[in-house]
Chains A and B, each alone.
Chain A
C-alpha cells in the first residue's frame, strides 16, 4: 500500500499573466509597420557623403525622392565614370530627369528631391541636374550631407 502525499501548493498563482502579451506585441508591431520605409534600393554608384555643419533633418521621409550621383561601381574597389541614378536605374541622358521628376511631382506635390552626391564628383553634373529640376518645377531640394564631427573644422 502506498501513501499518497498531497502536493503542497501556495495559495496564490505564480505565473505572470500573459493575456495582454498579444496586445503589447501588436502595439509594437504597428509602430514598426508605420515607421518602416520598405524597399531600400540597390546603389549602383558610389556615394561617400560630404560633411557640413548647418544641416537640417528631413522629417517626412515619404516626401523625399533621391537622386544619386557618383562614380559607377564596376566591381570590388573599381569605379568608372560619374553617373546619375534615380530609383533603380542609371540615367544615361541627363535630359530624362525632367520627365521623371515631373511625374513624381504629380504624385507628390510637396516633393523634396534629395541629392546624394559623392564628395569627389564635380559640380558640373550637379548644375545640369539642377537645371532639369528647375524645368520640372521640382524646386525643393536638399544636399544630403552628414553632420560634421568637429564643428569649425575646415
Chain B
C-alpha cells in the first residue's frame, strides 16, 4: 500500500504581482526621464588674478585682439571683419609660425583676446566665439590627421596622443576684464 504524501502549504511569498509592481515603477521612470543630451561650447576660465600680480608680458604680435561692439560689428587687430571670416583669420594668425611679422610667433605663443562691449547681444558673441573655437578645432584636426591619420575627436580622451595635439595648439583664449585699461 502506498502512503499518500502530505500536501503542505507553500511557505513562499506570492510573487505574481511582482511584475505589476515593477511595471508601475518602470512607467514612472519612463515618464520622468529626459534623454536630451546637453550640448554647448566648453571653456576653461583663467584663474582669478592674485593681488598685486602683474599680467605676464606678452609680445604684441602674439595677441590677436577681437573686439565686438554693441551693434555686433567685429574688429580684429584694428581691422573690421565680418563674423564669417573670423575663423579664417584666426587660423592664419595661429598657424603663422613666425612668417608674417604681424602675426604670431608660433601656435604655442598665440593668444586670442576677446573683448566685448556690455551691450553686445549674446547671439553675436556666441557666433564669434564659435568661429574662434572652430579655428582651433580645424587646426587640431589637421594636426591629428597628419600625425595619426584620424580626427582629433577620434583620439582617446586624455591619451598621450590627444595631449600631444592639444599641446601643439593650446587654446589660449583670454576674455578681457570689463574695466577699461585692465585688458592686455
Contacts and interface: CB of A to CB of B under 8 A. Distances in A.
B55 to A, nearest CB: 14
A54 B134 contact: yes
A11 interface: no
A72 interface: no
A135 B45 contact: no
Given A122-B118, A154-B127, A131 B137 contact: no
Nearest to B177: A131
Contact of B22 (A29, A38, A154): A29
A145 B37 contact: no
Contact of B41 (A61, A131, A145): A145
Contacts of B35: 35
Given A26-B22, A139-B47, A55 B29 contact: no
What's the dominant secondary structure at chain A's contact region?
mixed
Most buried by B among A35, A38, A154: A154
A84 interface: no
Q: How large is the interface on A (under 10, 10 to 19, 20 to 34, 35 or more residues)?
A: 35 or more
A29 B26 contact: yes
15 contacts: A29-B26, A32-B33, A52-B127, A54-B41, A58-B38, A119-B121, A119-B126, A121-B121, A124-B178, A130-B45, A131-B177, A140-B44, A143-B126, A144-B38, A147-B39
A50 B22 contact: no
What's the dominant secondary structure at chain B's contact region?
mixed
Contacts of A58: 37-40, 42
A122 B47 contact: no
A89 interface: no
Contacts of A10: none
Contacts of A154: 83-84, 127
B41 A142 contact: yes
